[in-house]
């Protein structure tokens, strides 16, 4: 099966499995989405969704968050991991949003990436899931599946993102990003599949004999 054939099969099958792609992080505004995505780094969406209602009950706008005590933010988000760094980032980005952008999350990739704690992946998620702009955020899970499915030989998420954008139509990026995450969690997990177990892996590579060694980003 050629790469383009694998890509077409994957897109078709994921569309059948996940016709709806709800944003997995609970939020009621672009600001809440930004903070939730920041908290999701090296943390499960499930845990983030348990923490954010507590945080947002106390402050759900940058105007309110900028006045919170750093220790209080830390206390609330501690279950998410990396809490010292994340709590400082949330406080500082809130101040910047108020000072530079009148409390509005900027609809601009470069400006988002300049915010504390907001890297390319977080900015891409906000641009795609928040503003609806075509983007293909690549985390470690998408990186792993893209290698198992022969869509990239990327040694890092930057190259993997470039390869995925090159093979899938731009109109499908936002939905595919979530569909791949959903599939990876349900069928092609880090330890539950080694490239020879799940339906997509076995369809793309029916004669694969050895497990796929993922090149970690």
Where exactly does CATH 1.10.340.30 map onto the chain? 30-130
Give per-residue burial for 46-69: e unless 16+ CB within 10 Å, then b: eebbebbeebbeebbebeebbebe
Up-side HSE of residue 148: CA atoms within 13 Å toward CB?
28
- Per-residue pLDDT tens listing for the chain (217 residues): 899 999 999 999 999 999 999 999 999 999 999 999 999 998 999 999 999 999 999 999 999 999 999 999 999 999 999 999 999 999 999 999 999 999 999 999 999 999 999 999 999 999 999 999 999 999 888 999 999 999 998 888 999 999 999 999 999 999 999 999 999 999 999 999 999 999 999 999 999 999 998 777 6
How does DSSP classify residue 106? P
Up-side HSE of residue 211: CA atoms within 13 Å toward CB?
11
CA distance linking residue 160 with residue 48, whole number of Å: 26
- The CATH architecture assigned to 30-130 reads Orthogonal Bundle (1.10)
Helices (H) and strands (E) in the chain, counts: 12, 0
Where exactly does CATH 1.10.1670.10 map onto the chain? 3-20+136-204
Catalytic residues: 121, 139
Which CATH code is given to the segment(s) 3-20+136-204? 1.10.1670.10
Q: Whole-model pTM? A: 0.92
What's residue 155's pLDDT? 84
């Amino acid at each position: 099966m050629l790469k383009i054939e694998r890509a077409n099969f994957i897109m078709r099958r994921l569309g059948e499995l996940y016709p709806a792609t709800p944003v997995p992080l609970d939020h009621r505004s672009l600001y809440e989405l930004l903070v939730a995505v920041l908290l999701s780094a090296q943390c499960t969406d499930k845990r983030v969704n348990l923490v954010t209602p507590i945080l947002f009950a106390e402050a759900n706008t940058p105007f309110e968050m900028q006045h919170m005590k750093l220790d209080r933010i830390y206390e609330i988000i501690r279950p998410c991991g990396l809490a010292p760094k994340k709590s400082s980032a949330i406080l500082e980005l809130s101040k910047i949003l108020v000072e530079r952008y009148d409390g509005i999350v900027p609809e601009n990739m470069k400006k988002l990436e300049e915010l504390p704690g907001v890297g390319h992946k977080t900015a891409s998620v906000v641009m795609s899931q928040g503003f609806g702009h075509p983007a293909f955020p690549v985390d470690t899970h998408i990186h792993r599946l893209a290698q198992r499915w022969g869509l990239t030989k990327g040694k890092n998420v930057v190259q993997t993102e470039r390869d995925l954008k090159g093979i899938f139509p731009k109109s499908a990026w936002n939905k595919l990003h979530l569909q791949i995450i959903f599939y990876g969690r349900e069928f092609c997990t880090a330890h539950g599949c080694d490239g020879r177990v799940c339906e997509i892996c076995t369809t793309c590579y029916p004669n694969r004999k050895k497990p796929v060694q993922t090149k970690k980003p």
